[in-house]
Structure 1
Amino acid sequence: MDDIDDEPNASLSVAGQPVPVIIDVTHTVTENEAGLRIDKLASKVFTDFSRAQLQSWISDGSLISNSTTQKPKQRVKAGDVLHLSTTLQQHSEDQPENIAIEVVYEDQDVLVINKPVGMVVHPGAGNQTGTLVNALLYHYPQQHHLPRAGLVHRIDKDTSGLLLIGKTKPAQMALMAQLKDKSVYRHYQCIVAGDAASLGRHRRIDAPIGRHRNQRTKMTVMTAGREAVTHLLAITPLNDSYCLLDVGLETGRTHQIRVHLSHITHPIVGDRVYGGRRQLRAGLSEAQRQAILNFPRQALHAYELGFVHPVTGEDIEVSVPMPEDMQQLVAVLNDDYGAE
């Protein structure tokens, strides 16, 4: 995009109130671009916006050529000057907030962050502030015009780990398409109740997931649900009754890993919704028993993420270590814990 006059000031807040995003952009048609339809050329050069948006701006006079309104099918000539001037309203009342985020990968198109435990991904009922979207809107104000500030997918509040974010509309859409066609891979670590032999019989969990009929905040395995496939990639015994798993997602249903592992009777430690008393197995020391009972969240961490860069085509792989609370739980559950 050429000559973004107001980019540094886009979406700053004044006295706590968000300022609409002002777009004022020009592009001079080159010899190679001559003859293209104005809407097609606009989508090539003003890449932060969808073609449908640009067509509507051509129609309402926000996007003009040589100071004159045009029809979307109008052909351009070399030297023509396209000028886009409009004001974008925010998609919601989401407010920028100065909340620290841990960036593990960033370039001009893509951002990957390591979400801490306890952070909600985006505002919703009961969580209007303090979310990752609020943080993104503060640190990357130019992303106000993107749905969910560029988020491509999400993880639960009490799951830690990697999240993928598009910094432009084309990047976000391309990454969402990769997620849909399963070319994005996401690997998780989790600590579960169950012995290695029993878990080994469930290397591929293929069980459709839908919303629970009576408890609407819960998901469950059901024949009328959507396809859901989870892979147990590696099983590491911690003791006779607990294992550390490396899990891969083939699909991305709400609460998928938690629901699937509960479904095969090997729930994630700390999962109050899908685990219950089945988290406690026989043969535990008192220290191990207390560590499980007191673990405050589901022991689930999104540690590895891979995708094809939406602009360069490069394979990008990012990983982060297991958080301290899970490392401590692994140590306590390990049979060697406390040994001389």
Structure 2
Amino acid sequence: MENLDIFIVGAGPIGLSCALEAKKAGLSYLVVEKGTIVNSLYNYPIYMRFFSTADKLEIADIPFISASVKPGRQDALEYYQGIARQRDLSINLYEKVLGINKEEQGIFRIKTDKAEYKAKNVIIATGFYDIPNKMNIPGEDLPKVKHYYTEPYPYAKQKILVIGASNSAVDAALETYRKGAKVTMVIREDKISDSVKYWVKPDIENRIKAGDIKAYFRANVLEIKPREVLIKTADGEILSLENDFVLAMTGYLPDFDFLKNAGIELCGENQNPKYNPETMESNVKGLYLAGVVCGGKNTRLWFIENSRIHAKFIISHILSFCN
């Protein structure tokens, strides 16, 4: 069994960035990804556009050429998957990492659903898009409840309840409304989130003001039933709303169990993983974190634009022990 210099978990933009830096440094590495290349981006809504401009999404100083100022999902897939092909990165796809264990001699043994590997260092760059942030209410597991939204066409002429007020919720509400759905939004806060893309926020606010989309602010969903949803309004009234589908855009979480089982300490209510921000090394020597996973439950803290530098921090630190 080959003893790799670096084993990278996750082939998202930051995982690819780590692979590119490792290859440039002449280190042996392998990226293992449970899905396709940039799997999270692949599962984004089909018509999603980034808040960032193309240059902010670039990795390893490789130009991201886009005809639009704000690249879309397909632009990003072409860019990142194109890099993996052109740079001939060492990636195993559709292989899930099950566990990471550090042996007494300081070598990591990584077990997947297909094989076992040994590495001197491990980088976890797994993002956060795999585990929905559940509401833990009755009926949440009904088939009509969707925690992922891809396109509006299945919801034409249906009664849709959208939960949330962030970018994903607003996109789902506007797109399904424009394909003929009767849309109602349930929002815990008293307004649409300030983080919503600036060119979209006026649109949703105007649709709500005009009554095209019904919105209950400072409200909560109590129970989801096969043909209705029970909500509690701001004034404490319990309403029953006829409903065909619920789009629960309540956010997503990193796999905290995976991190804990690898030996990483998680701190506080936010479950912040312990790491050195100058090197990205966790409390486990030789085990590094990169990208969104560094933010714990605060998944808006890190994104491609501000975490692509993590790859340079990590490889630089690893090289300091090789000299």
Q: Tell me if both proteins adopt one fold, taking TM over 0.5 as the criterion.
A: no
Q: Higher Cα Rg: structure 1 or 2?
A: 1
* TM-score computed with the length of structure 2 as normaliser: 0.26
Q: Give the structure, 1 or 2, with the largest relative contact order (CA under 8 Å, sep 6 or more).
A: 2
